[in-house]
Structure 1
């Protein structure tokens, strides 16, 4: 490679033998320049995420207190239910007792009517005695006067026949708690027959039987009448 020749007539520039700087011999003071080191992303503010402050945890109730309260509530509920059941049982028993007592009044009245009109030639004495023994009060007094019981037996013997009674219906009309007397209306049909066994036309009867209950619970026919003036 060939060097380029220096043009003739142009002086050659020499290098300075002193260091560069001011000529007065003073060393220049260094000036501090603050350079920001933040990057380009620091200029955009980053939004702060505010966390929701959770409420303080609820205070747990003591387990013993909860157990006692639950046990007390259970005992109270059980007592209430038990008392209600007991009341219902008592009411049911009372209703059944009243119904059974009313039925006994009706049964006594219907048996009285059957004893009055039912007999056979060979059972006249037993039938009349059974009827008389089941009476009390005014009805018993009526049959006990003037030897009426024996007279009734004699009348039945003279007919030489028999009589059969069928109860068509019976109902309790009223009950007096003071006297313990109940009025029972009885509907019956009586069919009598002669000594040859021939049946006579049946006769309907409607009777109001007054049934009395004594202190021992025994029920008897206290009185009787024919309602509306009929038989």
Structure 2
């Protein structure tokens, strides 16, 4: 009977071994000598600093030109605005003054018509007629109306004083350059002895005309209840 045990076992491999000590070819280190291993310092890599790009130098002449232009435009705007406001204010003031002249002309006409003294009848009536135009002037110029009015005042043997209680502009016709003014007046008659009669109130509508030169006259006289 054959023994198969020896045939199945594999031969064991021998490991190479060397004595402790320095490797062959290396210098021998004497016993008891301390061996120091020097470590190299880590290498620091400097990266370029990332920042804003350098600013370009300003064009001083361009900046000064733009600043001067802005200043001139601002001054021009302010001057134009001031002129527009001044013109508007002047127009408003001129219109207010024109309306007031309409009212003043009507008030003066009523005062001249009702105020007189025995010594100044001629002057008062002539002043009244000189301030009229249009239909009113035509009426006074017909026949002897002016002289008849003077005689009427003389026959009263009295004097009269008109006091304007109020006057207001009613409307303006810009096409005909006529204005309608309502006037409230109170007339007091005083006889030669100095006795005052009860004053009488009147309300009149005076049509005032403005000519091309801006001169104003009384164009017509109407009582408020007598028509528009």
Normalised-by-shorter TM-score class? 0.7 to 0.9
- Structure 2 segments unaligned to the other structure (5+ residues): 1-23, 29-34
Query: Aligned pair in 2 of structure 1 residues 155, 53: CA closer, same or farther (>3 Å)?
Result: same
Q: What corresponds to 1:23 in structure 2?
A: none
CA distance in 2, matches of 1:222, 1:133: 11
Q: What corresponds to 1:134 in structure 2?
A: 131
Superposition TM-score, scaled by structure 1 size? 0.79
Which runs of 4 or more aligned residues in structure 1 lie more than 3 Å from their structure 2 counterparts after TM superposition? 32-35, 45-52
CA distance in 1, matches of 2:27, 2:138: 149
After superposition, what is the alpha-carbon deviation per residue over 1:174-205, rounded to whole angstroms, capped at 9, x for unaligned?
A: 11111111111111111112222211111111
Q: Is 1:214 aligned with 2:211?
A: yes
Number of corresponding residues:
199
Query: Aligned pair in 2 of structure 1 residues 30, 137: CA closer, same or farther (>3 Å)?
Result: same
Spell out the pairing of 1:36-51 with structure 2 (5 A cutoff).
36-38=37-39
CA distance in 1, matches of 2:116, 2:46: 113
3-state SS of 2:110 partner: helix
After superposition, what is the alpha-carbon deviation per residue over 1:128-179, rounded to whole angstroms, capped at 9, x for unaligned?
A: 1110111000001111112111111111111100100101111111111111
User: Which structure has the greater CA radius of gyration?
Assistant: 1
Query: Aligned pair in 2 of structure 1 residues 37, 184: CA closer, same or farther (>3 Å)?
Result: same
Q: What corresponds to 2:16 in structure 1?
A: none
Query: How far is 1:228 from its partner?
Result: 2.6
CA distance in 2, matches of 1:220, 1:190: 22
Superposition TM-score, scaled by structure 2 size? 0.80
Do 1:159 and 1:195's aligned partners in 2 also have CA atoms closer than 8 Å?
no
3-state SS of 1:217 partner: coil
Q: Is 1:202 aligned with 2:199?
A: yes
Spell out the pairing of 1:33-182 with structure 2 (5 A cutoff).
36-38=37-39, 53-182=50-179
3-state SS of 1:121 partner: coil
Query: How far is 1:121 from its partner?
Result: 0.5
Comparing 188-197 and 30-39, the one that deviates more: 30-39
Do 1:183 and 1:210's aligned partners in 2 also have CA atoms closer than 8 Å?
yes
Q: What corresponds to 2:181 in structure 1?
A: 184
Aligned-residue RMSD, C-alpha: 2.5
CA distance in 2, matches of 1:97, 1:32: 123
CA distance in 2, matches of 1:99, 1:134: 22
